[in-house]
Amino acid sequence: MADLYASYTDLAAHETEGVSYMRRSVPVTGATWSSIAIHGGGIEAGSGETARAVGAGLMAHYEFAGIKSTGNTSLHVTSTRFDEPTCQAIVASSLRCLSFHGYTGTAGVPETSLGGLDTATADRIRAALTRAGFLVIDAAQEINGSHPTNIANRTTSGVGVQLEISHALRASFFPDRDLTRAMRDTGRRTPTFDRYVTAVRSVFEDRALVAQSTIPVSR
């Protein structure tokens, strides 16, 4: 189904921030990588929580979250046309970007579809998730994040990784497989969620931060 809005600019002209959607961003001093979810909240439930946990203290984080009581999918803006200024600035100043999404997938199959132009990092993520017991597949063309204008690839290096997490896997991240906002906002997560986040973070630790001694300081 085609997006209702052609861009964030279009969306913001018709929707009210704080009522229909919210934006979150968390800078991390010395971070050279970013962890984002442009379809967070109720748009692709669980993607925002995953991006936030993976990036915590390690990468600059951004999330665009749908907060309507119903109909959040109307806030979906495809990755190649997502032009929210804060997100663009975060990604544009990052060497690499990790972009989390949710997709339907095969019913009952917990899997991650990997894409993006940063194939080397994607391979490391695939290996880490596989070792942790997760099923990882190549993303289908329509969700493979390979277009240069995909928000994940608008980095200083021109590449990023897109992780599409199936509905079954995202549901397993929350108690009782409950993806509602009420559950997600409790902060309760399952051991599966923790295992997934730990696996992805293991790929980025010691790679995503500039040593503090190398950061110029003005006095």
- Cβ–Cβ under 8 Å, residues 175 and 190: yes
Distance from the Cα of residue 161 to its chain's centroid: 9
Predicted confidence (pLDDT) at residue 196 exceeds the cutoff of 70: yes
Q: What is the pLDDT of residues 130-182, one digit of tens each?
A: 999 999 999 999 999 999 999 999 999 999 999 999 999 999 999 999 999 99
- Cβ–Cβ under 8 Å, residues 116 and 147: no
Question: Quick one: DSSP state of residue 140?
Answer: P
pLDDT at site 204: 83
Q: The whole model's pTM is what?
A: 0.93
Q: What is the pLDDT of residues 72-122, one digit of tens each?
A: 999 999 999 999 999 999 999 999 999 999 999 999 999 999 999 999 999
pLDDT at site 208: 59
Q: What is the pLDDT of residues 98-107, one digit of tens each?
A: 999 999 999 9
What is the domain partition of the chain in residue ranges?
A: 8-205
Any bridge partners for residue 136, and if so which?
112
Predicted confidence (pLDDT) at residue 212 exceeds the cutoff of 70: no
Sign of torsion over alpha carbons 191, 192, 195, 201: negative
CB neighbours of residue 184 within 10 Å: 21
CA 93 – CA 111 distance, rounded (Å): 30
Percent of the chain with pLDDT over 70: 93
CATH of domain 8-205: 3.40.630.100
Task: List, in order, residues 6 or more apart from 195 with CB less than 8 Å away.
Answer: 132, 133
CA 163 – CA 64 distance, rounded (Å): 16
Any bridge partners for residue 150, and if so which?
none
- Residue in 177, 178, 174, 176 with CA at minimum distance from that of residue 188: 174
184 — pLDDT class (breaks 50, 70, 90): very high
CA 111 – CA 129 distance, rounded (Å): 10
Predicted confidence (pLDDT) at residue 13 exceeds the cutoff of 50: yes
